[in-house]
A and B are shown apart, each in its own frame.
Chain A
Amino acid sequence: MAPRTDLAARTDQEIVVLARAGQEAAYRELIRRYERPLFSLLYRMVRDRELAEDLAQETFIKALNAIESYRPEYKFSSWIFKIANNAAIDHLRRRELDTLSLEGSPHAETPEAVEATALQIGDRQESPLDAVEARELGGQIEQAIAQLRPEYRSCILLRHVEGRAYEEIAEILGLPLGTVKTYIHRARNELRQALAHLRE
């Protein structure tokens, strides 16, 4: 079995080969690499912590149990983001959510449920003041993203939060390249307008 440090230096494709050979450590490495990006994308799409975890879990289980069907000529990240995005869009089609709450799910009915669904920000080291400021600015950006149409939201998150190329986004979302570019421009226009008061 390859040690963890060795796995960390390998490409996704190499890790997938090891996973297909039955190495449990390779599965864990894939989860380690993608749990935060996938969970962040899903949280920003559905705006409910518990639901985002459920969708992220569903995504990983679906992807890892079907790892034999993954075709190595595509990027692993595109494949797993596609599964995650489909899960989020399917959910959003079933259920419409309107507002983002950094403090907890809008559907939480008790204080415990609000706390359970509240966001836990990842690995940033900030002073309390920085954290409050970042939370205010970040919160307003998150609110503005939440107001976008789901298709625009996926595009803008993948492009400017995840840093994916236009072509990869088109592959993930199954959309023509031109449509992806249009969605991203429109999403940025809407975000600029929503955040205009911050520039004044």
Chain B
Amino acid sequence: MNGDFSPLHFGPDELDAWLAGVRAPELVGHVSACPECRELVRAEEALIGQLAALPLYAPAADFGERVMASVRIPDPFAIRALQGARRRLLASRRSVAIAATVAVVLLGSMAASAAWTLANRDTLLAAGNWLAGEAGRWAWVGLRGAALNLIEQPWFSGFRSLVDAPARLAVASGAMSLMYVSGIFALRRLLAIPTQRVAHANG
């Protein structure tokens, strides 16, 4: 053993090796012959033991809940749907090619549209004004047509004479309201679920 004795004291590497359990003959020889290094390894081993024995500390009991209250958990259904769509999309070369084509067409048309819009602002403004004017004109023509059509109806003259006499209008309105309310009551009665037990219903 003494033939393997190393005259040099333990450096960090030798100490690490010793603490990791390496018992090379020259290390063992040196430790047994050198009281200084023997004391060093004993002190280091004791220190490491004390450090390893230090307790784990616990946070407050509601710590986990407080953390969870601030954590954003992804929606599993959305993730599954997304993964399913991705799987289907990447299922074959053909589906990948179709998806790529659609993406290129969509992105290309969006980019072209944006570019054209930026380059032709005046044209777009003029077209917008023309469309607004046309829409207004057609709305007016439609309204006039509908009014003329209404006036030409055979019942319109009777309706107009009724509106001209407020008393008759009030009577007609009252009668119509009464009919409406009566209709509602009748409908409720028809749709009501019977609450009385029917005799012999259970056989």
Contacts and interface: CB of A to CB of B under 8 A. Distances in A.
B68 A160 contact: no
Interface string B12-47: 100110000000000000000000000000011011
A142 B54 contact: yes
B50 A57 contact: no
Interface in A49-87: 52-53, 56-57, 60-61, 64-65
Contacts of B72: 65
A64 to B, nearest CB: 5
Contact of A188 (B44, B66, B75, B76): B44
A36 B57 contact: yes
B74 A192 contact: no
A138 B54 contact: yes
Interface string B61-73: 0011011101111
Interface residues on A, range: 35 or more
B3 interface: no
- Main SS of the interface on chain B? helix
Contact of B67 (A61, A156, A188): A61
Interface residues of B, number: 33
A188 B55 CA distance: 19
Contacts of A161: 51-52, 54
A192 B51 contact: no
Contact of B47 (A24, A121, A195): A195
Contacts, number: 109
B167 interface: no
A58 B45 CA distance: 36
B47 A23 contact: no
- Main SS of the interface on chain A? helix
Given A28-B64, A56-B63, A124 B55 contact: yes
B40 to A, nearest CB: 8
A22 B75 contact: yes
B52 A36 contact: no
Contact of B58 (A22, A36, A65): A36
B191 interface: no
Given A141-B51, A160-B48, A28 B76 contact: no
Contacts of B12: 181-182, 185
Specify which of A19, A36, A56, A142 lies most central, judged by the most chain B CB atoms within 10 Å of its CB.
A36
B203 to A, nearest CB: 47
29 contacts: A19-B73, A21-B76, A22-B73, A22-B74, A22-B75, A22-B76, A24-B68, A31-B64, A32-B64, A35-B63, A37-B56, A39-B63, A40-B57, A57-B66, A60-B71, A65-B70, A65-B71, A120-B57, A120-B58, A122-B56, A123-B58, A137-B50, A141-B50, A160-B48, A161-B51, A161-B52, A185-B12, A185-B15, A192-B47
